[in-house]
Amino acid sequence: MEQSQLRLIDANLNRLREGIRVVEDIFRYVYNDKITASNLKTLRHKVRIDIYNELLDSRDIKNDVLKKSTSSEQTRDDLQSIMIANFKRAQESSRVLEEFTKLHSIQTSETFKYIRYELYDIEKALIKITSNSK
Which tens digit of pLDDT belongs to each residue from 104-122?
899 999 999 999 999 999 9
Residues 41, 47, 48, 54: what is their CA dihedral angle, to the nearest 10 degrees?
Answer: -130
- Rg, C-alpha atoms of the chain: 16
Decide if pLDDT at 70 tops 70.
no
pTM above 0.85, yes or no: no
In SS3 terms, 15-74 reads as HHHHHHHHHHHHHHHHCCCHHHHHHHHHHHHCCCCCCHHHHHHHCCHHHCCCCCCCHHHC
Contact criterion met (CB below 8 Å) for 52 and 9: no
Contact criterion met (CB below 8 Å) for 93 and 49: no
At residue 69, the pLDDT reads 64
**Top-confidence range, 1-5, 22-26, 69-73:** 22-26
> How far from 100 is each of 1, 20, 64, 122, CA to CA, in Å?
10, 20, 19, 24
At residue 71, the pLDDT reads 64
Q: Report the b/e string of 47-69 with b at 16+ CB within 10 A.
A: bebebeeebeebeeeeeeeeeee
Decide if pLDDT at 18 tops 80.
yes
Decide if pLDDT at 58 tops 80.
no
